Amino acid sequence: MRWLKRTEAGKRLRIFYASDVHGSDVCWRKFVNAARHYECEALIMGGDLTGKALVPIVHRNGGYTAWLGGEERHARSAEEVDELERAVRMNGFYPLQATEDELRALRDSEDVREQAFARAMTEALEKWLAFADERLGGSDVGVFVMAGNDDPWSVDPVLEQSAAVTACDGRVVRIGDREMISCGYSNRTPWNSPRELDEDELYSRIRALAEQLEAPDTAIFNLHVPPYDSGLDTAIELDDELRPVLHGGRPREIPVGSRAVRQLLEEFEPALALHGHIHESRGIARIGRTVAINPGSTYNAGRIDGCVIDLTATGVRSYRLVSG
């Protein structure tokens, strides 16, 4: 684990923040390379690291076949298979070469599917961390990463064992002279994801971290879920069948962020609050003295959405949303 060294008093600290890469190899590489591109001293990844599904690439009739993006795709040569696997990864899925018998086993057994999925996630994350270590190992760049509400618990030990990054979830860490707390949980969602809490539990968990801060007013709150009704948490309302609720013939948009997070930002007023979770709600808001940011996510297009923030000892100096 690497904690960024203390900076000289008054010196600018530049960080790059992004979230919700959901298994996209391209986005992770761009995240790591952002340190050099934007001349940052620190990188922060705000959760939802893992992909959504396995995509079997089945060996049949002397070639390979996969179903991706609503269409059947075929590969004959090793080069075409590599290209197909890259397309699968760019969309945030995990390619899995399989025989017809292995495909049947995946379809017939939930245990087989879960084991294969867990293995694919772990192997992909280990490769990501090795890439970060290759590019940034030995540098002064700090890399701070946490899981998000969609990520399974198997992610945490992989992050903890990494030499490339600091696993920051549920901790107070220092980025130069600034303190940062991190929480990857969200309030309840329609998706029943692995890391969800009722609002009172979420409040207690984050408050316990905030109370450890020496200087909350200059701190960074790295909280996966955005504050309620902030403009950073707007999403389409879903019914019990996960279908969009229509109003006047159009999908109805509502705030879906956390009331606990909003209350905590109002109480502690940290200098900076970093959020993800709601991909379509990219923006910047002010809550009291706090600058709150959700850079959004378009991971399935191979584009990383992020924010470059300059901090001084007294707070946020400047910020800009970026994509690349």
180 has a pLDDT exceeding 80:
yes
Number of domains into which the chain is organized: 2
Contact criterion met (CB below 8 Å) for 33 and 304: no
| Per-residue pLDDT, 1 | 44
Cα 73 → chain centroid? 29
Task: For the full predicted model, state whether its pTM sits above 0.75.
Answer: yes
Shared-domain flag, residues 211 and 276: yes
| Per-residue pLDDT, 156 | 97
Half-sphere exposure of 310 (CA within 13 A, CB side): 9
| Per-residue pLDDT, 298 | 96
Q: Which position has the token pair 């292995």? A: 102
Q: What is the mean pLDDT of residues 270-280?
A: 98
Range of the domain at 173: 13-49+119-323
Half-sphere exposure of 199 (CA within 13 A, CB side): 12
Shared-domain flag, residues 107 and 146: no
Euclidean distance between CA atoms 125 and 161, whole angstroms? 12
Q: 78: domain CATH number? A: 3.30.420
Euclidean distance between CA atoms 285 and 291, whole angstroms? 6
Shared-domain flag, residues 107 and 155: no
Shared-domain flag, residues 180 and 291: yes
Euclidean distance between CA atoms 249 and 244, whole angstroms? 11
Instruction: Extract the tokens encoding 317.
Output: 């100096």
Euclidean distance between CA atoms 105 and 103, whole angstroms? 5
Contact criterion met (CB below 8 Å) for 180 and 144: yes
Type of residue found at 268: F
| Per-residue pLDDT, 286 | 98
Nearest to 279 by CA among 301, 260, 310: 301
Give pLDDT tens digits for 131-177: 999 999 889 999 999 999 999 999 999 999 998 899 999 999 999 99
Does residue 241 belong to any structural domain of this protein?
A: yes
Shared-domain flag, residues 63 and 196: no
Nearest to 217 by CA among 313, 110, 127: 313
Would you place residue 62 in the very low, low, confident or very high pLDDT band (cuts 50, 70, 90)?
A: confident
Instruction: Choose the most confident range, by mean pLDDT, from 52-61, 83-92, 278-287, 312-321.
Output: 278-287
Shared-domain flag, residues 144 and 166: yes
304 has a pLDDT exceeding 50:
yes
Q: Which of 64, 82, 117 is the last residue of a domain?
A: 117
Does residue 1 belong to any structural domain of this protein?
A: no
Dihedral sign for Cα 155, 159, 165, 167, please: positive
Shared-domain flag, residues 214 and 84: no
Euclidean distance between CA atoms 109 and 105, whole angstroms? 6
119 has a pLDDT exceeding 90:
yes
Give pLDDT tens digits for 202-253: 999 999 999 999 999 999 999 999 999 999 999 999 998 899 999 898 999 9
